[in-house]
Amino acid sequence: MRGDGETELAESTVDAETPLADATVGGEWWATGVVYQVYVRSFADSDGDGVGDLAGVRSRLGYLELLGVDALWLSPVYPSPGVDHGYDVSDPRDIDPLFGSLDDFDGLLADARRHGIRVIIDLVPNHTSDQHEWFRAAVSAAPGSPERSRYHFQSEPNNWQSVFGGPAWSRVAPEDEYYLHLFAPGQPDLNWAHPEVREDLEKTLRFWCDRGVDGVRIDVAHGLAKPEGLPDDRRQPGWTVVEDGTPDPRFDQDGVHEVHRLIRGVLDRYPGRMAVGEVIVRDDARWSAYVRPDELHLAFHFGLLNCPFAADEIRDTIDRTIAAAGSAPAVWTIANHDVPHPVTRYGSLERARAMALIALALPGTAYLYNGEELGLPDVDLPDSALQDPTWRLSGGTDRGRDGCRVPIPWEGEGPGYGFTTGTPWLPMPESYGALTAAEQLEDPDSTLSLYRRALELRKEHPAFRGAQIEWFGAPENCLAFRRVGTTLVCALNTGDRPVPLPPGDVLLTSADLTENGELPADTAAWLA
Ligand code: NOJ
Ligand code: MG
């Protein structure tokens, strides 16, 4: 590692003519590349208002290039009242002044390209904000009006629960009709049977593809169709997924596939672009339908994300994920903005580092979440700081997702740690001072250095090419797999004592091996 972390953190100079490298061998970039999720609010703040913005992202592209990612996924930056931090969109074809302007967006895209980094945006087609012009028109129109038909308005609500807690129906005024919102009341669900709703999504896709984005992440991809007549939920109310075999009427209706074919139809006219869907469907056969050749290019399976740190379960989950993806590339992720950071979820930094080597060794594409590469733990925020709508809507029983959304510590001292010169929108704890990117760049043993090395090997070492894996026999509480057709072996020890390594030259380990060269507990190794 170089010793001058400060200069490394600053934007590196690159040749403006550098073409975007194809991260794959004979395939599309999105099939094997590493995508870095930027939760824009929390990434880098350029204007001191305490909220991250597009100019902030631009200023840190040099860091992302050093890290070695192929693309970034920007969380929603559209005009939004922010009840769900941007997942409540009032205009899907503009930028919220909080984050910058369309010019800033274009500039970011151009700069990213110069750094060899592609850009994916986050589309939110399931619902709008209650401040979207369509919903405002619906509110001032009468029951039964065409304005209301783009949403789901009814005189009597059914028994559906919101994912965030409480009923999925609210009224715009006493005595008026109820409208459906599967998330916060400020996020009314669109009626996907309405042709204008579909046309508008096509328009949005074309708008951003014409600007040059490389792909779209589709929020709530399993929600874009509601059952005829909105029948009651026959399960215990409140669940977000199938728990007892009774289907969840709110999600995964057969009609969603028509919408995914529509999305694909638009993207196919833009070579190289892709869609990755958030698909929360537990049944693997039903999940698979979302990545049929004329639907989404990719979908998050979330099996690994939800899996405990236990070799047998991890192994089963990997097999299930690969089988479910079928001929589509698998998407591996151990972190995003909706779940606690890996360090917190797995219970230790050692385990989080080990799991990173698992996710990055598997065939397919890998998605990282900002801060994961720094080994940030979740922050235990005081009640008064909590902003996630879940906290209020669950009646204070669910603290929500703010703990993993605390801004990134870049360098120096609090309260802003280089993220902002102002007051960060969520307070950054003192413990983040020891985890800054600047410090970690200088430390060869840091989590950031581990990720950099892992991404470099993944990109450059020929052992990372095979599309299939095969399992080795492994000691109890351990697993080992090989990329078929190559020499890469990945081993993981989730037990509590060291075990011998499989044969091969060690490429990288998530922690030091023991003195006898054994793989310690809570450690993973790459060998070739
Ligand atoms: C999934 C997103 O990841 C989450 O952050 C958001 O709250 C819901 N969809 C609703 O849009
Ligand atoms: Mg700002």
Domain chopping of the chain, boundaries: 4-127+195-463, 133-180, 468-527
The bridge status of strand 331-333 relative to strand 365-369 is parallel
Q: Is it true that the peptide bond before 415 is cis, omega within 30 degrees of 0?
A: yes
Q: What is the CATH number of domain 133-180?
A: 3.90.400.10
Residues of the chain with pLDDT under 50: 1-19, 21-26, 242
Read off the amino acid at residue 435. Answer: L
Atom number in ligand 1 closest to CA 183? 10
What pLDDT score was predicted for residue 112? 98
What pLDDT score was predicted for residue 299? 98
Q: Extract the runs of DSSP E, i.e. beta strands, from 22-78.
A: 34-38, 71-74
What pLDDT score was predicted for residue 247? 85
Ligand with an atom nearest the CA of residue 43: 2
The closest residue, in CA terms, to atom 3 on ligand 1 is: 338
What pLDDT score was predicted for residue 237? 53
* Whether this model's pTM surpasses 0.85: yes
Ligand with an atom nearest the CA of residue 407: 2
What pLDDT score was predicted for residue 527? 97
**C-alpha of residue 91 to centroid of ligand 1, in Å:** 17
What pLDDT score was predicted for residue 244? 60
Ligand 1 binding pocket (C-beta < 6 A) is: 84, 87, 124, 183, 219-220, 278, 337-338
Atom number in ligand 1 closest to CA 338? 5
Which residues are known to be catalytic? 219, 278
Nearest to 325 by CA among 271, 381, 284: 284
Q: What is the CATH number of domain 468-527?
A: 2.60.40.1180
Pocket test for ligand 1, best of 124, 129, 183 (most atoms within 8 A of CB): 183
Pocket test for ligand 1, best of 80, 84, 164 (most atoms within 8 A of CB): 84
**C-alpha of residue 104 to centroid of ligand 2, in Å:** 12
Measure the CA–CA gap between 416 and 425, rounded to whole angstroms: 10
Q: Tally Cβ neighbours within 10 Å of residue 526.
A: 26
Extract long-range pairs of 104-107: CB within 8 Å, 24+ residues apart. Answer: 104/53, 104/54, 104/55, 104/58, 105/54, 105/77, 105/211, 106/211, 106/212, 107/54, 107/58
Measure the CA–CA gap between 9 and 15, rounded to whole angstroms: 18
Do 468-527 and 133-180 fall under one CATH topology?
no
Read off the amino acid at residue 124. Answer: V
The closest residue, in CA terms, to atom 4 on ligand 1 is: 338
**C-alpha of residue 75 to centroid of ligand 1, in Å:** 10
Determine whether 430 is exposed, middle or buried from the number of CB atoms within 10 Å of its CB (0-12, 13-18, 19+).
exposed
Pocket test for ligand 1, best of 219, 387, 391, 401 (most atoms within 8 A of CB): 219
DSSP 206: H
Atom number in ligand 1 closest to CA 389? 7
The closest residue, in CA terms, to atom 5 on ligand 1 is: 338
**C-alpha of residue 194 to centroid of ligand 2, in Å:** 37
Ligand with an atom nearest the CA of residue 52: 2
**C-alpha of residue 45 to centroid of ligand 2, in Å:** 4
Q: Which CATH number fits domain 4-127+195-463: 3.40.50.300, 3.20.20.80, 3.30.1600.10, 3.10.290.10?
A: 3.20.20.80
Cβ atoms of 230 and 180 within 8 Å: the answer is yes
What pLDDT score was predicted for residue 57? 98
The closest residue, in CA terms, to atom 2 on ligand 1 is: 219
The bridge status of strand 178-180 relative to strand 153-154 is antiparallel
**C-alpha of residue 48 to centroid of ligand 2, in Å:** 6
Q: Tally Cβ neighbours within 10 Å of residue 110.
A: 12
Measuring CA to CA, how many Å separate 402 from each of 43, 144, 329, 425, 428? Answer: 14, 39, 31, 10, 11
Pocket test for ligand 1, best of 220, 279, 300, 393 (most atoms within 8 A of CB): 220
Question: At a CB cut-off of 8 Å and minimum separation 6, what does 195 contact?
Answer: none
For the chain, what's the residue count?
A: 528
What pLDDT score was predicted for residue 467? 86
The closest residue, in CA terms, to atom 6 on ligand 1 is: 87
Ligand with an atom nearest the CA of residue 189: 1
Read off the amino acid at residue 398. Answer: D
**C-alpha of residue 151 to centroid of ligand 1, in Å:** 19
Ligand 2 (single-atom ion) residues, CB below 5 Å: 45, 47, 49, 51, 53
Could you report the per-residue pLDDT of 101-139, keeping only the tens digit for each?
Answer: 999 999 999 999 999 999 999 999 999 999 999 999 999
